[in-house]
Chains A and B, each alone.
Chain A
Amino acid sequence: MAQIRLKNVSKRWNNFVGVDNFNLDIADQEFLVLLGPSGCGKTTTMRMIAGLEEITEGEIWIGDRLVNKLEPKDRDISMVFQSYGLYPNMTVYENIRFPLKVRKVPQEQHHERVMAASKMVELDDFLQRRPAALSGGQRQRVALARAIVREPNAFLMDEPLSNLDAKLRVSTRAQIKNLHHTLKRTTIYVTHDQIEAMTLADRVVVMSKGLVQQVGTPMEIYDRPANTFVASFIGSPAMNLIKGSIEGGVFTSEGIRIEGLTLAAKGPVTLGFRAEDASLAQASGQIEAPIYTVELLGDATMLSMRVAGELVSIKVNKDYRAEIGELARVAIPASACHLFDHSTGARIA
């Protein structure tokens, strides 16, 4: 049983706010991802849960214990660090065994559990090496094995994949997902890579500047971003955001006009749509503008054009070819549009 509950948790250094009033209930066995740009307070949040950082304000509960004053060792969690934190003077085997040793797990269980953990991350061949003699991916797996060997209440992982190359990242990601499925432990995972967040998470917490922006399943966050920050942070390319005004369900701005929107209000708004929701129109489109660049991605072609001073991306068929400067007409269905308050950025429709 390890739900983790954060109540009004804040962290300040002098007068710099690292994390501001964080509230969240994490269910038992949930895979929760903290996502956000660099410096937004993800690591700080995780370190407060682990007990490595003092909490300035608020409460953290693990299971039914208030852990504010507990030492990290008494919180029964394990953590994978961004730079792995392997003990350089111990072999892989000793590294994995270390938590069992300091927690006084009976000696006779050690070997079996170390072997089980190392098997799970496919490390059996390297047990007698020192960390210095391992590749980045192998070190990463040692850190994972060390975290899982003692079967804690919860796993915390701080950007565990950020030091790996693209290919290893994909396979280790799959491994982590699979481990979570087998071990069924609450997992909190920090990343600034949205693909990791999307593929791994049961729920995602998007943070910015110490504040929670949105909490939801990956699909919710993708389909209904709570504000312009989330909209522009999630998705590749980011959602196109155009400032303009709305009146009677019609959005207009320089070079763009979209009808049939459901919002009755009137006044300045920000309109958003995703590159893949737009398509090329034959006769007349919502946007008509000269092409700024054409990028061939392989599986698709990305067009961009200038609309209302913003560069807008449109994803089209991979066979589409056009010259820079050519006029393109783009159709944007009203149903695919998101509307945000023009000043606060909060979602209004």
Chain B
Amino acid sequence: MSDAVAQKRPLALNAIIYGFIVLWVILAAVPFFWTVWGSFKVEADFFSRESWWNAIFGTSTTRQTGNAFTGAGYYGAWVLRDFWRAAGNTIIVTVCVTVISLTLGTLGGYALARSGRNYAFWILIAALVFRAMPHITLVSGYLLPFFQLNIWGVLPTSIIVLVAINQPFTLWMLHSFFLSIPKDLDESAMVDGCTRFQAFRLVIMPVMWPGVVTTGLFSFLLGYNDFAVTAMLLSAENQTMVPKISSFLGSIQETGNVMYAVAAVVSATVPLFILVLFFQRQIVSGLTAGAVKG
């Protein structure tokens, strides 16, 4: 349809539309490409006093290393500053958070979608309020008890906290996906001889995968992107990537090794790129499922 309409559009309007889109794509994408490109330069190029063309051609980089590209930032971050450990922690945290969130969330979301009772409604409303709580306010409630219980600083604590913080959103989203599966299906299964749980496992879950994958993506993003919880609840040696990058900033800027941070930032961005590349459809459908942004 849009092709047919496009022909009727006046030229000027078309020019505005295309110009606007090009501008937006530049705004959206160029910061990333700029930083990726710059991460292979030395600091004098990426933060060039003379001209930003240096960042593109790598003038100082060539002067200092003999090559227009250098992996020094990556070497510094990953090897000298143990970024690999943070990456490993991030993998552990995000995988655990995603898996546990989905396990609890599918069970709970299914119950909420299939119970017509008032309390199910109130649980959903409570979840909405919980979802709106700034994470850092919750964190300020955790610290003292966690110190007392001596569970501060370790990965499992952060994982459980992230799972819990993620639950309201997961419940809402999965609940709306479950609502789109006809009730007849579980009821047939129960008449055919299943318990509620068997119906859930054998009949509903197999058709629920798209919803689970989409929700899983957002759980993953929450765990991956979190700063408030992981920065406050993890000890220095257990840090995940994001708090690690933030701790780089303090120590690195003094020693002039800001390129370590740039390299770490780029390293942490790549998985997100890949994620969008492969799951663009699911992300879009998740955002529009009438559910709530992650």
Contacts and interface: CB of A to CB of B under 8 A. Distances in A.
A and B touch in the complex (CB under 8 A): yes
Interface of A: 47, 50-52, 71-73, 77-79, 81-89, 98-99, 102-103, 146, 150, 156
Contacts of A156: 191
B205 to A, nearest CB: 10
Given A87-B203, A88-B207, A89-B207, A102 B198 contact: yes
B191 A102 contact: no
Contacts of A83: 182, 184
B266 interface: no
A84 B184 contact: yes
B206 A52 contact: no
28 contacts: A51-B190, A52-B187, A52-B191, A72-B187, A72-B190, A73-B190, A73-B192, A78-B191, A78-B192, A79-B188, A79-B191, A81-B188, A82-B184, A83-B182, A83-B184, A85-B185, A85-B187, A85-B188, A86-B188, A87-B206, A89-B207, A98-B189, A99-B192, A102-B189, A102-B194, A102-B198, A102-B202, A156-B191
Contacts of A78: 191-192
Closest 5 pairs (CB-CB, A-B): A85-B188, A85-B184, A99-B192, A103-B193, A72-B190
A91 to B, nearest CB: 13
Contacts of B187: 47, 50, 52, 72, 79, 81, 85
B246 interface: no
Given A87-B203, A88-B207, A89-B207, A102 B193 contact: yes
Contacts of B194: 73, 102
B103 interface: no
A71 B194 CA distance: 9
Interface in B198-232: 198, 202-203, 206-207
B195 interface: yes
Contacts of B207: 87-89
B184 A73 contact: no
Q: Which size class do B's interface residues fall under? A: 10 to 19
A146 B203 CA distance: 15
Interface of B: 182, 184-185, 187-195, 198, 202-203, 206-207
Contact of B191 (A77, A87, A88): A77
Nearest to A149: B192
Nearest to A79: B191
Given A81-B184, A83-B184, A84-B184, A73 B191 contact: yes
Nearest to B190: A72
B103 to A, nearest CB: 20
Nearest to A78: B191
A77 to B, nearest CB: 7
Nearest to B194: A102
Given A89-B206, A102-B198, A71 B190 contact: yes
A194 B187 CA distance: 27
B82 to A, nearest CB: 46
Nearest to A52: B187
A84 B188 CA distance: 8
Nearest to A88: B207
A82 B185 CA distance: 11
A20 B191 CA distance: 24
A85 B206 CA distance: 14
A102 B192 CA distance: 8
B188 A73 contact: no
Nearest to A105: B193
Contacts of A73: 190-195
Given A83-B182, A89-B207, A71 B188 contact: no
The CB with the most chain A CB atoms within 10 A, among B191, B206, B207, is that of B191
Contact of A85 (B182, B198, B202): B182
A73 B182 CA distance: 19
Nearest to A90: B206
B185 A87 contact: yes
Nearest to B182: A83
A74 to B, nearest CB: 9
A72 B187 CA distance: 9
B52 to A, nearest CB: 55
A35 B54 CA distance: 84
A82 B194 CA distance: 20
Nearest to A143: B188
A103 B184 CA distance: 19
A150 B194 CA distance: 14
Contacts of B203: 87
